[in-house]
Amino acid sequence: MNQGDSRNGLDDAELAGSASKGNERAFRQLLERHRQRILGICWRMLNDRIEAEEAAQDSFVKIYLHLGEYDPGRSFSTWAASIAINECRDRLRRRSRAARRFRELSENDAATGDTAGVAENEVGARLKLVEDAIERLPGKLKEVLVLKAYGDHSYEEMASILKIRIGTVMSRLFRARQKLTEMIGRSESV
């Protein structure tokens, strides 16, 4: 059973249907209803507050982008939770790969006896890689990423600043993160 809202009588399925047609207010209501639950899932899966908040935000972007695929016969809460779980699984896989790479680098550094210099160079190179990738993002994607990452603005603030809809902010932010990840991945594989 989808949760109802005594103030306006709309349940989750009705709100999702309305949000999928562009009703930002309906999506905000879904966000308000399910934010704590999704954040709780992410926190428990990732055990890191900042990463959990990012995962929850990314989950809601994915929920928004896939609202048209939601089956109103299913529980919205369950559907949204499955998206959050998958987001966390992806992050845990990436974290595991990064830890494995770090161990390999550490083992190589220990074998050569140069631990501090290589670690500092690796961090500096990684930072430069990320900065270069951000610079190469298309303007509209770079704007939302910079506002979110460096300005810590809310979706509402970013929409107001850029004079676009919240849904557009969310989809641009999603695309920016996706493109950034692809660009960094390509650079690291070279």
Write the pLDDT tens digit of every residue in 129-178.
877 888 788 888 888 887 777 666 788 878 888 889 999 999 999 899 88
Is CATH 1.10.1740.10 the right assignment for the domain spanning 1-112? yes
61 and 31 Cβ atoms separated by less than 8 Å? no
Residue 39's identity, in one-letter code, is: L
Domain extents in the chain: 1-112, 114-190
**Residue 4, pLDDT above cutoff 50:** no
- Nearest one of 13, 18, 27 to 72, comparing CA atoms: 13
Tell me what the mean pLDDT of segment 83-107 comes to.
Answer: 79
CA 125/CA 186 separation, integer angstroms: 15
The pTM for the full model equals 0.55
CA 56/CA 95 separation, integer angstroms: 17
CATH class assigned to 114-190: mainly alpha
